[in-house]
């Protein structure tokens, strides 16, 4: 019995569970139904199911000893894994988009900003309306649902901090809204091209041609500190974390910050644009960036998914699930129609802007897979920072409404 306890106690650790979930998630993500698959988001689905399982399966008792399946220390470890995944993914996206981002800053960029504003404004409007008509739902719960539906951890953190005694309701709402908030956008970017019967190969050819920008080498000799590009990648993360921790007062004792995700995206765009620091080459190979992007996405999904599954069970309510679906779906559809018929965006730029407006890291990964080109990251990168500012500030203040 003692031997079995030692084996299980050593095996059932967050580290072991993370890699098992990742492996199973890729198996699930590879399943295609009528050409639609979850891809990397399969990791999220498996992670959430594992979190749900932890909520129902009792701790394992072996004689006088007990193996705890889930505890505060486990959530802390997974939170760290999720944060590491976020900065790896977003930094890679910023560095990929950076060389073209500022050079292609034109009228379409204002379209992305406006789309981000519309998506967030619709989410806020729906939250206020539902909190007003449903007297059983507190505005704290509604704000948590909104931050989960828009998959915005910074907004969740801001709302939770402002909510005071109602912080538990914000957390519960975030857990409920998060599942569909992620999977809904991932499926949306795959389903819309099929509904519109888009020829992906042909669209990709036109899209890449339209987004091709010749970046001239200035001819100056620079040296790389190592062959893989790890130095510029990690120094960009460090710079981004510095940017993310800057707090800007927004009144009433509240503050706004870009957080680790927003800060590293901005740093990635800046470093990717300049490509050097003095005589030091700051360029990172595409192969390295693709690796960090995928690794970061998976770590983020598994680190956020398991605690999300636990919170989902503890705060389950069908009507709140419906509210979360409404908060995520309506802004997506309206934003897409706006991009298509008003701003005349290409399908890839339109969907890229939607993923940025919904601040959805997994959906961008799915869209890159669908489109077959990293250039869709530019629309995401243009929309994301503005949408992030709006959702964080709004959730910070929304939770303080009196009804």
Would you state the pLDDT for residue 139? Answer: 86
Mean pLDDT of 77-106: 81
Q: State yes or no: pLDDT of 244 exceeds 90.
A: no
Would you state the pLDDT for residue 58? Answer: 66
* Pairwise CA distance, residues 334 & 332, whole Å: 6
Q: DSSP secondary-structure letter at 375?
A: G
With tokens 């961008």, the residue in question is: 364
* Pairwise CA distance, residues 148 & 146, whole Å: 5
**pLDDT tens figures, 299-311:** 988 887 888 777 7
Q: DSSP secondary-structure letter at 59?
A: P
Nearest CA to 185 out of 151, 153, 152 is that of: 151
Three-state SS sequence of 277-295: ECCEECCCCHHHHHHHHHH
More confidently predicted of 208 and 349: 349
Alpha carbon separation from 133 to 136, 137, 138 (Å, rounded): 9, 9, 11
**pLDDT tens figures, 133-152:** 998 888 888 988 998 898 87
Would you state the pLDDT for residue 216? Answer: 67
Nearest CA to 117 out of 125, 128, 127 is that of: 125
Q: DSSP secondary-structure letter at 400?
A: T
Contact 83, 256 (CB under 8 A): no
Q: How confident is the model at residue 403 (pLDDT cuts 50, 70, 90)?
A: low
Half-sphere exposure of 47 (CA within 13 A, CB side): 32
**pLDDT tens figures, 324-359:** 999 999 999 999 999 999 999 999 999 999 999 998
Neighbours of 224 (CB within 10 A): 15
With tokens 């957080």, the residue in question is: 259
Would you state the pLDDT for residue 72? Answer: 62
* H or E stretch covering 65: strand 65-67
**pLDDT tens figures, 9-36:** 666 778 888 899 999 999 998 888 877 7
Would you state the pLDDT for residue 180? Answer: 87
Would you state the pLDDT for residue 215? Answer: 64
* H or E stretch covering 255: strand 254-256
* Pairwise CA distance, residues 354 & 361, whole Å: 11
Strand partners, 66: 61
Please spell the DSSP secondary structure of 146-212, one letter per residue.
Answer: HHHHTT-HHHHHHHHHHHGGGHHHHHHHHHHHHHHHHHHHHHHHHHHHHHTT--HHHHHHHHHHHT-
Structure tokens at 402: 């009196």
Alpha carbon separation from 396 to 108, 249, 314, 376 (Å, rounded): 29, 12, 24, 30
* H or E stretch covering 249: strand 248-251
Structure tokens at 320: 């709140």
Strand partners, 67: 60
Task: Give φ, ψ of 61 to 5 degrees.
Answer: -105, 125
Q: DSSP secondary-structure letter at 341?
A: I
Q: DSSP secondary-structure letter at 77?
A: H
pTM of the model: 0.76
Q: How many residues does the chain have?
A: 403
Mean pLDDT of 49-56: 83
């Amino acid at each position: 019995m003692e031997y079995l306890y030692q084996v299980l106690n050593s095996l059932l650790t967050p580290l072991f569970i993370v890699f098992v979930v990742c492996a199973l998630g890729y198996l699930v993500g590879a399943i295609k139904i009528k050409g639609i698959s979850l891809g990397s988001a399969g990791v999220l689905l498996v992670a959430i199911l594992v979190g749900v399982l932890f909520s129902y399966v009792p701790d394992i008792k072996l004689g006088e000893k007990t193996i705890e399946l889930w505890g505060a220390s486990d959530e802390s470890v997974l939170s760290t894994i999720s944060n590491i995944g976020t900065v790896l993914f977003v930094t890679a996206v910023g560095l990929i988009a950076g060389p073209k981002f500022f050079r292609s800053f034109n009228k379409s960029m204002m379209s992305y900003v406006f789309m981000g504003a519309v998506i967030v404004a619709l989410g806020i409007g729906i939250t206020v309306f539902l909190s007003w008509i449903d007297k059983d739902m507190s505005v704290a719960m509604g704000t948590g649902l909104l931050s989960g539906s828009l998959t915005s951890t910074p907004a969740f953190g801001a709302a939770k901090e402002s909510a005071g005694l109602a912080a538990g309701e914000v957390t519960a709402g975030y857990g409920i809204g998060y599942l569909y908030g992620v999977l809904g956008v991932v499926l949306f970017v795959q389903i819309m091209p099929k509904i519109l019967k888009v020829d992906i190969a042909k669209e990709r050819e036109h899209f890449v041609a339209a987004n091709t920008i010749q970046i001239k080498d200035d001819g100056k000799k620079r040296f790389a500190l190592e062959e893989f590009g790890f130095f510029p990648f990690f120094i960009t993360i460090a710079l981004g974390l510095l940017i993310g921790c800057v707090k800007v007062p927004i009144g009433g004792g509240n503050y706004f910050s870009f957080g680790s995700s927003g800060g590293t995206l901005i740093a990635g765009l800046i470093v990717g644009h300049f490509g050097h620091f003095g005589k030091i080459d700051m360029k990172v190979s595409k192969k390295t960036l693709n690796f960090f992007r995928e690794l970061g996405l998976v770590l983020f999904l598994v680190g956020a998914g398991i605690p999300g599954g636990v919170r989902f069970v503890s705060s389950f309510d069908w009507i709140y699930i419906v509210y979360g679906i409404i908060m995520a779906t309506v802004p997506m559809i309206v934003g897409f129609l706006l991009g298509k018929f008003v701003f005349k965006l290409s399908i890839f730029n339109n969907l890229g802007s939607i993923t940025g407006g919904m601040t959805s890291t997994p959906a961008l990964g799915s869209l890159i897979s669908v489109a077959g080109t990293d250039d869709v990251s530019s629309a995401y990168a243009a929309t994301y920072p503005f949408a992030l500012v709006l959702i964080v500030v709004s959730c910070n203040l929304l939770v303080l409404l009196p009804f």
